[in-house]
């Protein structure tokens, strides 16, 4: 009994102390923690080694994630389509490599940093055609000489040894697979997509037209308030943006107020995010904005299109052409050839 009485006394003291603290609350300061970077979580940008699975190596990044991110933002996919279109238009078709096959090869290389061509031969070993294989599913063998086409854990196809030409964008961390140049701009592409989706949901939610009707005027009767509530409910749904008339005899100037819910600053921030992320993506792809059909916001604009097109062709397209001409060394003949940019003097690409 003595122990029970002592415990009861302690509990009474604890509860009485909490009650006293609730009457005189103390100042408390705390933080919610620092922002967590994407690289610290299990996301697409997690950089692991090329894991060995059965007969091949897995890429260091999730190629399925790169494929889904390809169309995350218009200024992420459009520059790659633009480069592929210009390169294809200047490509001279070859009996082994058609224009359509070349375009598929170019697009795979720009999106995944890897482009594969399968050399198909006849019974005599003579080359018949070069056919691109989807970089999303092509894997390099553990002997680094063979290649596999893997769509699932139970769907695999081994290509003939020596029949695959692998064009890769070199990576600084490993030499098995290439990686695209735009990886640093992926966060901007995802943020741009998130801002667009938020804006869309924001509009569909109706928050752009939401408000609080604040009434303090005592001149209104309960029946008037019910009629006003009924009229506002009937104004929702199809055919909104209707006008509402209210007659309040004897009411005061501030007896009826409309307080908007939507935050104008938040809407403006969305446009800032869109513009900043757009610039990041264009910088990563190195495409001048005047070639992308972007309308300038300032009076001076982006400058003349002709000089921008000339610099872009010289500094970006010609180096890309040189990369695809590496196939000629592997084949032992000139398969990839490009027309000269004759229209550069006229000021267009």
Report pLDDT for 148: 94
Q: In angstroms, rounded to a whole number, what is the distance separating the alpha carbons of residues 337 and 162?
A: 23
Mean pLDDT by 10 residues, the chain (349 residues): 53 49 50 47 60 87 91 92 94 95 97 95 86 95 92 83 94 92 92 86 64 67 74 61 62 70 60 89 91 76 83 92 96 92 49
**Would you say 259 and 214 are in contact if contact means Cβ atoms under 8 Å apart?**
yes
57, β-bridge pairs: 52, 140
Report pLDDT for 257: 74
Strands in 164-168's sheet, in edge-to-edge order, are 127-133, 114-121, 164-168
| Beta carbons within 8 Å of 348's beta carbon, 6+ residues apart | 305, 306, 309
Report pLDDT for 15: 47
Q: What number of other Cβ atoms are within 10 A of residue 327's Cβ?
A: 23
- pTM (2 decimals)? 0.71
Which residue matches tokens 């009229």? 231
């Amino acid at each position: 009994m003595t122990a029970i009485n002592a415990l009861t006394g302690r509990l009474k003291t604890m509860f009485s102390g909490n009650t006293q603290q609730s009457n005189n609350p103390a100042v408390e300061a705390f933080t919610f923690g620092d922002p967590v970077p994407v690289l610290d979580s299990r996301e697409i940008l997690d950089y692991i080694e090329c894991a060995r699975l059965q007969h091949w190596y897995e890429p260091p990044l999730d190629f399925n994630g790169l494929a889904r991110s390809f169309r995350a933002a218009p200024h992420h996919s459009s520059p790659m389509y633009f480069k592929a279109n210009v390169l294809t238009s200047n490509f001279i078709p070859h009996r082994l490599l058609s224009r359509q096959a070349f375009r598929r090869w170019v697009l795979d290389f720009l999106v995944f940093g890897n482009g594969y061509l399968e050399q198909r031969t006849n019974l005599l070993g003579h080359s018949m055609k070069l056919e691109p294989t989807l970089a999303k599913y092509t894997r390099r063998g553990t002997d680094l000489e063979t290649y596999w086409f893997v769509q699932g854990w139970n769907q695999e196809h081994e290509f003939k040894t020596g029949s695959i030409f692998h064009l890769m964008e070199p990576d600084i961390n490993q030499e098995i697979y290439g990686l695209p140049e735009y990886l640093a701009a992926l966060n901007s592409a995802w943020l741009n997509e998130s801002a667009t989706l938020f804006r869309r949901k924001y509009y569909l939610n109706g928050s752009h037209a939401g408000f609080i009707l604040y009434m303090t005027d005592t001149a209104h009767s309960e029946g008037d308030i019910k009629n006003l509530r009924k009229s506002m409910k009937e104004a929702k749904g199809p055919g909104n943006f209707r006008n509402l008339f209210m007659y309040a005899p004897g009411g005061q100037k501030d007896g009826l107020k409309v307080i908007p819910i939507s935050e104008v600053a938040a809407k403006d921030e969305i446009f800032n995010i869109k513009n900043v992320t757009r610039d990041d993506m264009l910088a990563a792809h190195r495409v001048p904005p005047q070639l992308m059909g972007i309308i300038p916001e300032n009076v001076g604009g982006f400058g003349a299109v002709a000089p921008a097109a000339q610099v872009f062709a010289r500094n970006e397209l010609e180096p890309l052409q040189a990369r695809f001409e590496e196939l000629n060394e592997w084949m032992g003949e000139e398969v990839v050839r490009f027309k000269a940019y004759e229209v550069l003097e006229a000021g267009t690409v």
